[in-house]
């Protein structure tokens, strides 16, 4: 180990017992200035800085550490870090138990729920503290990585969604080729049939061919709608009234609602503020959610719809009295091709979530198995959107 370099301050401290009162006062003032300088530097950092003992007792904390942990300026000193962050101590293991000060630094991530939910990355390195018998301490750096994690998770989700959409679009395209071929051959058969002598058999064949052509046309329409759903155009924003759009969707679905024996209780708060949205894409959101709600309920079920506004958003909530969703399934609802319904394709909620994101909105789902599901949509108000852009 290279010899330790001594500063002028070290030399002064080495002959402390020879200093007179004036020099001692000057030394105290110098130390106070240096302490203030270092504290100002540490408090200017965005990262939290702690010095702790092997028992986790906090001997020093800068301003950012107080903010991250959610305690006031004078509340961290003497506190034990393990009590403030339960579950952290066991993960550090040998790093704390081994008395070797040359142990490598360790890094951990943990969740804090106070004063708000966030993810914090901890970096901890041991050192020997001069002047206290070389006792071992730990320097701890805390970084708030909540935004980074959310950005990363959103990017991963977008990449996963993009790959699935590309695959689905390719499959739909390949299905379109044989359908086109079927259409052409049905047309050829129909032409040859016309040249034959008319009779009962030819009439029956003509009807069968027409049925086939209708079915091919229907499948082609399904594929076209499927591709439009997977690769929607950028929202064509215009000022719309969500209550009016919802009413039109309910009117269109009225026959299916009646056939299933479902009661719909819809209520809005007077005149809702306008939102900037793509009318057709918002219709698609409502259609998907209504379909899910209707399929989850038995005859006699009840669908409650409420629309209201706050200072920032127009909020539409749809609650059904259906079978509900298992807790372990809730976290996977927006994953592509994940479905809890027999025969479901697992794309509906993923498409709904993407449309809401592209409109600057959010979707939330609460559910309890056997008690029903509540879906909440938040659309930014038109006036709020304008103020945010101007600011």
Model pLDDT for residues 343-356, shown as the tens digit of each residue: 555 667 878 888 88
- Give the pLDDT confidence score for residue 152 in this predicted structure: 66
User: CA 253, CA 249: separation in Å to the nearest integer?
Assistant: 6
CATH architecture label of 238-390: 2-Layer Sandwich (3.30)
Instruction: Report the CATH fold assignment for 45-144.
Output: Beta-Lactamase (3.30.450)
Write down the residue that tokens 């359908």 correspond to. Answer: 179
The whole model's pTM is what? Answer: 0.46
Two tokens, residue 307: 């629309």
pLDDT, tens only, 85-123: 777 777 776 556 666 555 557 788 777 777 777 888 888
Q: What is the CATH number of domain 150-230?
A: 1.10.287
The DSSP bridge pattern shows strands 263-268 and 302-309 to be: parallel
For the chain, give every residue range classified as CATH 1.10.287. 150-230
Confidence category of residue 6, pLDDT binned at 50, 70, 90: low
User: CA 233, CA 243: separation in Å to the nearest integer?
Assistant: 23
Cβ-proximal residues to 339 (8 Å cutoff; 6+ apart), any chain: 345, 346
For the chain, give every residue range classified as CATH 3.30.450.20. 45-144
Contact 126, 103 (CB under 8 A): yes
- Give the pLDDT confidence score for residue 317 in this predicted structure: 92
Among 42, 132, 139, 54, residue whose Cα is nearest residue 89? 54
pLDDT, tens only, 223-236: 776 666 566 667 88
pLDDT, tens only, 296-318: 888 999 999 999 988 888 999 99
Tell me which of 36 and 161 has the higher pLDDT: 36
Q: Which range has the top average pLDDT, 104-118, 165-179, 207-221?
A: 207-221
């Amino acid at each position: 180990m290279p010899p330790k370099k001594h500063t002028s301050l070290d030399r002064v401290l080495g002959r402390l017992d020879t200093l007179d009162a004036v020099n001692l006062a000057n030394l105290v003032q110098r130390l106070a200035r240096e302490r203030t300088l270092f504290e100002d530097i540490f408090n200017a950092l965005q990262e939290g800085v702690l010095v702790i003992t092997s028992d986790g007792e906090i001997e020093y904390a800068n301003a950012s550490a107080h903010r991250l942990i959610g305690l006031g300026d004078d509340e961290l000193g003497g506190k034990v870090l393990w009590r403030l962050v339960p579950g952290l101590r066991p993960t550090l293991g040998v790093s704390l138990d081994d008395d070797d000060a040359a142990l490598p630094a360790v890094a951990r991530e943990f969740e804090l729920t106070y004063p708000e939910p966030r993810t914090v990355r901890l970096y901890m390195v041991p050192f020997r503290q001069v002047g206290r018998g070389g006792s071992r301490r730990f320097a701890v750096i805390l970084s708030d990585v909540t935004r980074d994690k959310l950005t990363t998770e959103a990017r991963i989700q977008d990449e996963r969604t993009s790959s699935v959409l590309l695959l689905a679009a390719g499959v739909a395209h390949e299905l379109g080729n044989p359908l086109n071929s079927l259409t052409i051959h049905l047309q050829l058969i129909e032409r040859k049939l016309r040249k034959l002598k008319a009779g009962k058999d030819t009439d029956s064949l003509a009807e069968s061919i027409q049925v086939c052509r209708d079915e091919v046309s229907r499948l082609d329409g399904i594929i076209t709608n499927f591709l439009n759903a997977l690769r929607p155009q950028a929202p064509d924003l215009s000022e719309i009234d969500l209550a009016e759009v919802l009413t039109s969707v309910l009117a269109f679905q009225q026959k299916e609602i009646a056939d299933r024996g479902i009661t719909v209780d819809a209520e809005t708060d007077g005149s809702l503020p306008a939102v900037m949205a793509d009318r057709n894409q918002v219709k698609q959101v409502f259609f998907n959610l209504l379909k899910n709600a209707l399929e989850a309920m038995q005859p006699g079920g009840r669908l409650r719809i409420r629309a209201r506004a706050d200072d920032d958003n127009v909020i539409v909530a749809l609650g059904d009295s259906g079978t509900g969703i298992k807790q372990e399934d809730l976290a996977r609802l927006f994953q592509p091709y994940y479905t809890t319904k027999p025969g479901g394709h697992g794309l509906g909620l993923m498409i709904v979530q993407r449309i809401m994101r592209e409109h600057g909105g959010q979707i939330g789902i609460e559910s309890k198995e056997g008690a029903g599901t509540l879906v909440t949509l938040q659309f930014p108000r038109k006036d709020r959107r304008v103020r945010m852009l101007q600011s």
